[in-house]
Amino acid sequence: MSNSVEIIWQNETFHLLPEKAIYWEREKTLFIADPHFGKSAAFRKHGIPVTEKTTEDDIYRLSRLIQETGSLRIVFLGDFIHAKQSKTQVLRNLLFLWREEFPSIDLHLIRGNHDLGAGDPWSELNIHCHDEPWTIFKWECRHHPNSNLSVPYFAGHLHPGYILKGKGRAQLRTACFQIGMGHIIFPAFGSFTGLKNIKPESGEQLFLTNGEKVIALPSSKSFLRKQ
């Protein structure tokens, strides 16, 4: 887990991974939000020429994460498949080959808004599908963030991003983890997704990732693990 960052959240240690996922080492569990597999196929159905390589790359990246972390369980926080038009034979073959490589991993999907449109993944993939919220340990796993909740939760959906400004007009826009005392909002795992610019609320800390490294922005509330 090179270039990951350890944090303490809800008295547990988590690894923020540059690949836009979080690993809970004690339970060998990987959390991922918004892969949007097959999004390029949905675009092609509408006549927009987009290569399938983004989905192939994302599945490869997921395989590499499993191998590096030794994960035994994956929780997908919604939007596993982008749309009905995404459920092509090409995507099915890619996911089946991936599943054959890791047949013993326990897979869970919390249905997001795109999952409701696309339908559950193919049953042969053996993914346990849940309506939100689904509880693990003392936290809710959701797709949609909910600021009114009193229960700590993980969520996706927003595709949070942040703009770093440099000298002059130079700026860099990148995905980020948005972490508060009672929530962690994940960046979108899928590489063919947009970003929503956010600003940290009071008590939140942002962790930026460019796919290679995680960087913590200074905050009045730090979740960084003290070394």
pLDDT digits over 157-181, tens only? Answer: 999 999 987 666 667 889 999 999 9
Q: Which residues contact 163 (CB under 8 A, 6 or more apart)?
A: 171, 172, 173, 197
Mean pLDDT of all residues in 182-192: 94
Taking each continuous run of H as one helix and of E as one strand, the counts in the chain are 4, 16
Cα distances from 208 to residues 17, 134, 178, in angstroms, run 10, 27, 9
DSSP structural state of residue 130: E
Q: Could you tell me where the DSSP H helices lie in 112-205?
A: 113-118
DSSP structural state of residue 52: T
Structure-token pair, residue 59: 């599945």
Task: Tell me what the pLDDT averaged over the chain comes to.
Answer: 90
> How far, in Å, CA of 190 to CA of 148, rounded?
28
Residue 194 has pLDDT above 90, yes or no: no
Q: Decide if domain 5-216 falls under CATH 3.30.2000.
A: no
> How far, in Å, CA of 158 to CA of 21, rounded?
15
Per-domain boundaries in the chain? 5-216
**pLDDT on residue 170:** 62
pLDDT digits over 66-120, tens only? Answer: 999 999 999 999 999 999 988 999 999 999 999 999 999 999 999 999 999 999 9
- Amino acid symbol at 223: F
> How far, in Å, CA of 219 to CA of 10, rounded?
18
Cβ(187)–Cβ(161) below 8 Å? yes
Beta bridge partners, 77, equal none
Place of tokens 């053996």: 126
- Amino acid symbol at 41: A
Q: Which of 216, 153, 164 is nearest to 186 (CA)?
A: 153
DSSP structural state of residue 25: G
